[in-house]
Structure 1
Amino acid sequence: MVNKSLLVIGIVLIAAVAGIIIAANNSQGTEEKISVIRIGSTAPGHAKFIIFEQKGWMADEFKKDGIKVEFYPFTGGGSEAMTALASGSLDFAYTGSNPALRTAAAGADIKLIAISSFNPLTSTAIVVRNDSKIRSISDLKGKKVAYLKGTVRHAAIVKSLKKENMSIADIESFNLNFQASGPALIRGDIDALVESETTVYPLVSTGEARIIISGKDNPEWSSPSAITVRGDFAKKHPDLVKRLLKVDLETAQWSDEHFDEAITIYATARKDKEEAVREQFPANTFYVNPELIDKAVRSFKDEEEFMNDNNLLDGKVNWDSWVDQSFLDSVLKEKGSNKK
Structure 2
Amino acid sequence: MQYTNTKLVFWNSLKVTRRHLLFTVGYCLALSTILSSCNQSPNTTQSQQSAASPNSNEKPAETQVVRIVRSKQLTALAVLEKQGTLDKRLATLGFKVQWPEFAAGPQQLEALNANGLDIASTAESPPVFSQAAGAPLVYLATTAPNGKAVSLLVPVNSPIKSVADLKGKKVAFQKASIGHYLLVKALEGAGLKLTDVESIFLAPPDANVAFSQGKVDAWFIWEPFVTRAEQKKVGRVLVDGEKLRDTANFYSTSRQFYQAHPEVIKAFLEELQKAELWTQNHPQEVAQLLAPVTQLDPPTLEIMHKKYEYGLRPITEQVITKQQEVADKWYSLGQIPKKVNVRDGFLTLEDYAKITPSEVLAKQ
Partner of 1:137: 163
Partner of 2:326: 303
Residues 165-222 of structure 1, C-alpha deviations (whole Å, 9 max, x = no match): 3222222222223433233223222211111254222332343322222223xx2324
Partner of 1:180: 206
Q: How does 1:276-315 map to 2 (within 5 A)?
A: 276-279=300-303, 281-282=305-306, 286-315=309-338
Q: How does 1:14-25 map to 2 (within 5 A)?
A: none
Aligned-partner SS, 2:148: coil
- Structure number with greater Rg is 2
Q: How does 1:248-263 map to 2 (within 5 A)?
A: 248-263=272-287
**TM-score scaled by structure 1?**
0.78
| 1:329 counterpart letter in structure 2 | A
Q: How does 1:1-340 map to 2 (within 5 A)?
A: 35-40=64-69, 44=72, 47-75=75-103, 77-115=104-142, 117-196=143-222, 198-216=224-242, 219-279=243-303, 281-282=305-306, 286-324=309-347, 325-326=349-350, 328-332=352-356
**Contact 2:128 2:327 (8 Å CA) reproduced:** yes
Residues 326-335 or 87-96, more deviating? 326-335
**Contact 1:267 1:277 (8 Å CA) reproduced:** yes
| 1:209 counterpart letter in structure 2 | G
Structure that is richer in strand per residue: 1
| 1:72 counterpart letter in structure 2 | P
Show structure 1 runs of 5+ residues with no match. 1-31
Residues 214-242 of structure 1, C-alpha deviations (whole Å, 9 max, x = no match): 223xx232421111111111112222222
Q: Hey, what's the Cα distance between the residues in 1 that align with 2:334 and 2:311?
A: 29
**Contact 1:118 1:296 (8 Å CA) reproduced:** no
Q: Hey, what's the Cα distance between the residues in 2 that align with 1:66 and 1:239?
A: 11
Shift of residue 81, structure 1, vs aligned partner: 0.3
Number of aligned positions between the proteins: 299
What is the aligned-residue identity percentage? Answer: 21
Residues 273-295 of structure 1, C-alpha deviations (whole Å, 9 max, x = no match): 44554455538x63331422454
Aligned-partner SS, 2:244: helix
Q: Hey, what's the Cα distance between the residues in 1 that align with 2:73 and 2:223?
A: 16
Show structure 2 runs of 5+ residues with no match. 1-60
Distance 1:197 1:244, change over 3 A: closer
Greater RCO (CA < 8 Å, at least 6 residues apart): 1
**TM-score scaled by structure 2?**
0.73
**Contact 1:119 1:287 (8 Å CA) reproduced:** no
Q: Hey, what's the Cα distance between the residues in 1 that align with 2:304 and 2:246?
A: 12
Distance 1:140 1:319, change over 3 A: closer
Aligned-partner SS, 1:73: coil
